Amino acid sequence: MAASRPGKFMGSSFLEMIAQPSVTTDLGDRILKVNHAGEHGAVNIYGGQIFMARLTAPGMLSELEEFRSHECGHRAIFAAELLRRQRPRCRSYWLCGFGGRVLGLMTGLLGANAIAATTVAVESVVLRHLQQQLVSLQGSDPSAIAAISAIIAEEQLHHDHSASHVQTGTFWPRILTPIVTASTEAVIWLGMRS
């Protein structure tokens, strides 16, 4: 009988108690890695749009440069937290950068309405995921929550400011919104599984 008591103590509830922080930390680590890669993609989207907007939407250049500056800061926040945790960046980091650059160049070529519609589509998905991440990590990973919370206001600013530029009912928003939304969702989904 005495032998069964220690086994009972070391049973599943004790092991679950020990494993729980690791599982939670793993979730926080995965979220931070994906967010870091996503911010790298956003930096490159704006970089591509800035390059093309010199020709197609020069009136948007200062706004795009400001948004890119914010995204560089967001990427740095996640990079610092990953470094603190001694975690590598997401395997999708370079893919996000390349895909972001291509998306930025293409939508920048299409002009101001396409640029604004792209930002609204991307930021709508990003903001929804950031809110879901905060709920998932509540009470378990305060450092990840702090990193995520630090970027929400600027992401909301990008969304709202760009939404004010979108001419609803026009061609590019109708075409780009579902494509960019689905692509952004797919990148996040894939990143969380890598």
pLDDT at 194 over 80: no
Output helix, strand, coil percentages for the chain, rounded to the nearest 5: 85, 0, 15
* pLDDT tens profile 147-174: 999 999 999 999 999 999 998 778 888 9
Compute the distance between CA of residue 19 and CA of residue 121 in angstroms, rounded to an integer.
Answer: 38
Residues 118, 192, 133, 78: is their CA dihedral positive or negative? negative
**For 96, how many CA atoms within 13 A lie in the half-sphere containing its CB?**
26
* pLDDT tens profile 54-86: 999 999 999 999 999 999 999 999 999 999 999
pTM for the model: 0.84
